[in-house]
Amino acid sequence: MNLTISGHHLDVTPAIREYVQNKLERITRHFDQVIDSHVILCIDNLTEKEKRQKAEINLRVAGKILHITSAAHDLYAAIDMLMDRLDRQVVKYKQMLQNHSHTALKRLAGDEGEAPATA
């Protein structure tokens, strides 16, 4: 997996880089077919002080690009929220791939003219 971490209006320190890499290991445990990911960390100049720290990720998997954004007061909290959301999306995508590999319901019904029985 290719990982790119960039910062807008902030310097990406080795501590932040390592924190993001450790959090992304959780994603690769669930789904190992990740092609590449691009993480953008930025600080917005908003008038209110809340939710200035923003984290975004573009995760490219086979056939789809997952884009998630989160914002918080603290950059580490924004990264945590981002990885939680990404984890849910990856699990959802993986389940979708597994569910599509089953045979169609109309083929499971014996006759072509009958509708499948529902319980």
- Tens digits of residue pLDDT in 57-112: 999 988 889 999 999 988 999 999 999 999 999 888 888 888 766 655 666 665 55
DSSP state of 104: P
- Amino acid (1-letter code) at residue 84: D
CATH number (domain holding residue 67): 3.30.160.100
Q: For residues 25-54, give the mean pLDDT.
A: 82
Residue 56 has pLDDT above 90, yes or no: yes
Is residue 112 one of the residues assigned to a domain? no
pLDDT at 52 over 60: yes
Strand bridging mode 34-43 / 2-8: parallel
Among 23-27, 47-51, 102-106, name the most confident range.
23-27
By C-alpha distance, which of 57, 78, 52 is closest to 67? Answer: 57
Residue 36 in 3-state DSSP?
strand
Domain total of the chain: 1
